[in-house]
A and B are shown apart, each in its own frame.
Chain A
Amino acid sequence: MFAADSIPSPQKAGAMADASAAEQAEEGGIPLSQASLQQLNAVKQQLEQEVRSLLNNQAALREAEARFQASIESLKSLCPENNGKAMLIPLTSSLYIDGHMTETKKVTVDVGTGYYIEMSVERAHKFCSRRCKLLSDNASKVEGVLKDKKKSLEQLQITMQQKMYMLQQQQEAAKSEER
């Protein structure tokens, strides 16, 4: 492409300068308008990568939150009125066996790193709610960062387009002069 050819720096040096430029621009070191197209492109790729991983993080957080919500729902059926009632126990997603409730007061909760704690339904409920809140707080934090990143990405793209346009104009001007 023409734009890349017109920048008089060899590829090797370009790659390195880009790495440092990406860092600097991230910290607000050099203004966008003064960076070369190559540098801008490097920053753009970095930003895109960050946006992608943030989106993944966010999805994982939301999924985990949904799992805890589901646990809270299940806990609701563990009440004294349901003691002794018949139920179906899922062995696989499509195979169930008969059973009945014998314990409606205590549950065993996986608290992480292989530890399980036996606790009352009420406590378990609180535990799930707390985890839910923690996860949704984190998810909204991620969302905030994501918004910022997307904004800077947009700005970057606009600057890049302007640069491309300017280069094209210069090129055409040079051509007509040659003639």
Chain B
Amino acid sequence: MAPANEQEMQKELEKFKAMQETLQKAYEARMGLIAQQQETELVKEEIDSIEDDAVVYKLVGPVMVKQNIDDAKGNVSKRLDYISGELERSNKIIAEKETELGDKQKHLIKMQQELQSS
């Protein structure tokens, strides 16, 4: 076995592992976004179905601030849009990273085979 190849292999393997880690982090970020999206959707459902004379508060730090219902509705919708946008972005990043990782894996397997046959 040529030691140069061995070293190269080791380097590639490390890169591969780093990529796996970033992908894992991206997955976690997506999970967080999905959780937020679901929670916000539930809030939206509630806020959309309240009577016009209902009182809505928003917790800001330790104080509850009275909110205008229309404002609250708008804010919740805006937040939901924002989260959906972020989620889409995150999905795109993950898809990219996955293909990248797949290519790397194939490359690594090929290198390994070459190493073994030489």
Contacts and interface: CB of A to CB of B under 8 A. Distances in A.
Determine the main DSSP class of B at the interface with A: helix
Interface in A1-44: 10, 12-13, 16-17, 19-20
A12 B112 contact: yes
A118 B55 contact: yes
Interface string B14-52: 001000000000000000000010011011001100100
Given A12-B112, A111-B42, A116 B105 contact: no
Contacts, number: 64
Given A12-B13, A112-B39, A112-B40, A117 B46 contact: yes
Interface residues of B, number: 28
Interface of B: 9, 13, 16, 36, 39-40, 42-43, 46-47, 50, 54-60, 64, 67, 72, 76, 79, 105, 108-109, 112, 116
Given A112-B46, A115-B58, A117-B46, 18 more contacts: A16-B109, A16-B112, A19-B105, A108-B57, A111-B47, A112-B40, A113-B36, A115-B46, A115-B57, A115-B59, A115-B67, A116-B56, A116-B59, A117-B47, A117-B57, A118-B54, A118-B55, A119-B54
